Amino acid sequence: MPPYVVIDLYQKRWRIEDAFNVVKRLLGLSYLWTGSINGIKLQIWATWLFYAVLVDLCDAVADELSLPFDRISLEMIYRGLYYFHGASKRGEAQDPVKYFSNPDTVKCLGIVKRQRKPKKKLIIAPFPDKQRDSDQFFFQSTLKTSLTNGLQA
């Protein structure tokens, strides 16, 4: 595989961990409701099915807002379902995608994540301004004698 594909896969390695974290913490799968095997299977399947629907809703909202999926907060969409339910009972909303992509709702519920500052490279050189253009920026050794020659002397 080309290096840029490996880098892209490496950056997305936490998607599975995030999914388990959301399902356990947000959707309550960390506690089982029953001890029977059938009840446990039912709870796991229902939770993962709801998670899939929630991800699909977030993807539709991201498409409606013309943003990447990573910028939409899955947790805030989940918490906003309560407000959507209230708005639909009052007759103010019918479509959850339209409701969550409304600019007032986006601002009020915090559906869009803030962008982080870009990462800066860390320079370890003791005097980076003086050494940036020189050969010693990466601490290359100027000592010409090898260790074996020094030990023989």
Q: Using H for helix, E for strand and C for coil, what is the string for the chain?
A: CCHHHHHHHHHCCCHHHHHHHHHHHHCCCCCCCCCCHHHHHHHHHHHHHHHHHHHHHHHHHHHHHCCCHHHECHHHHHHHHHHHHHHHHCCCCCCHHHHHHCHHHHHHHCCECCCCCCCCCCCCCCCHHHHCCCHHHHCCCCCCCCHHHHHHC
Per-residue pLDDT band for 1 (boundaries 50, 70, 90) equals confident
Establish if 72 belongs to a structural domain: yes
Q: What is the pLDDT of residue 35?
A: 87
Whether pTM exceeds 0.75: no
- Structural domain total, the chain: 1
Establish if 44 belongs to a structural domain: yes
Percent of the chain at pLDDT > 70 equals: 78
Establish if 74 belongs to a structural domain: yes
What gap in Å lies between CA 66 and CA 138, rounded to an integer? 42
Establish if 59 belongs to a structural domain: yes
Q: What is the pLDDT of residue 116?
A: 78
| Interval 81-102 mean pLDDT | 94
Establish if 16 belongs to a structural domain: yes
Q: What is the pLDDT of residue 52?
A: 94
Establish if 125 belongs to a structural domain: no
What gap in Å lies between CA 136 and CA 130, rounded to an integer? 10
- Read off the pLDDT of residues 129-140 as tens digits, 9 standing for 90 and up: 665 555 555 544
Query: Tokens 């998670």 sit at which residue?
Result: 51
**What's the chain's average pLDDT?**
82
Q: What is the pLDDT of residue 9?
A: 82
Domain span including residue 101: 3-109
Establish if 114 belongs to a structural domain: no
Establish if 123 belongs to a structural domain: no
